[in-house]
Structure 1
Amino acid sequence: LTPETRGFLGRKELSLMKKTAFLVNTGRGALVEREALLDALATKKIAGAGLDVFHDEPLKPGDAILGFDTVVLSPHNAGQTAEVVRDGLLRAVKNVENFLAGKPTDVVVAPVK
């Protein structure tokens, strides 16, 4: 998330969607303006939403987004496929091997104090 992408989808963008459209966000919660999304759902400007990310994580009991039966929520794990897990493990092993061999890694390694 960058300052340029925060609130990337706001009232204007949501108003351009068809009333039958569902907004799907698996990126970052703050890409979508929270109040604009809640308003679009409440006024039925869009049909619903599928969200794997939220403005505040974890969602707190009573969060307004929980009041919509047209919203499907998943606990920030939509990207947890077998391939993603495998690739992450392989990347971690390669980085440890490179670090121990004195070779560059693709992550920042902080010195232990």
Structure 2
Amino acid sequence: MGAQGLPPQGVSCFGWQTSWDYWLGSIGSKVAKRLKGFGGFISYNSRTKKPSVSYTFYPNVFELASHCNTLIICCSLIEDTYHMINNYVMKALGKDGIIINIGRGAIIDEKELVRCLVEGKIFGVGLDVFENEPNVPKELFALDHVVMLPHRAAFTEESFYDA
């Protein structure tokens, strides 16, 4: 391990050093399992530390964002997660940070997301969900480093068999 418990430079996952899954539930666990195959350093935040996994646990999302550069949001929307990914978390993620949201749209404060993208506070975002679907902030369409899907990521052959 390198400085501050991070992997040494050059260890990457999809070209980034680290990634995480918020709340290591069934979806987050499956995402982490797949990311592990790319050699990335995986850490997570959850309601409780999972003794059955070897990934690094952070007690809150701010600390997690401070130690990684890719946030993969795989959690449900509850009162505690509404706008959980806010200006402070995005700034902690940093200018090279990437957010991927496959959870629920309102977990991210979209106004702050647009502002942080425009100001270069984070690098990019991948969104399958939006706060006020089907209304997507128009600013996102004009920005580089933004990938958007029409809430269809769950429509896989496997998901139909699992239903």
TM-score, structure 2 normalization: 0.50
Structure 2: runs of 5+ lacking an equivalent: 1-76
From 13, 25, 38, the equivalent of 2:114 is: 38
From 72, 83, 98, the equivalent of 1:7 is: 83
SS where residue 16 of structure 1 aligns?
Answer: helix
SS where residue 159 of structure 2 aligns?
Answer: helix
Does residue 66 of the first structure (1) align with residue 147 of the second (2)?
no
Structure 1: runs of 5+ lacking an equivalent: 89-113
From 50, 58, 72, the equivalent of 2:126 is: 50
The amino acid that maps onto 2:160 is V
When the two structures are aligned, how many residues end up with a matched partner? 87
The amino acid that maps onto 2:116 is A
Q: 1:59 deviation in Å?
A: 3.1
Question: For each residue in 1:46-96, what CA deviation from the matched residue of structure 2 results, as whole angstroms up to 9, or x when unmatched?
Answer: 111000001121135x722222121000010112221111111xxxxxxxx
TM-score, structure 1 normalization: 0.71
Question: Which contiguous aligned blocks of 4+ residues in structure 1 show a shift greater than 6 angstroms?
Answer: none
Aligned-residue identity in percent:
33
* Bigger-Rg structure (1/2): 1
Give distance in 2, aligned partners of 1:6 and 1:49: 18
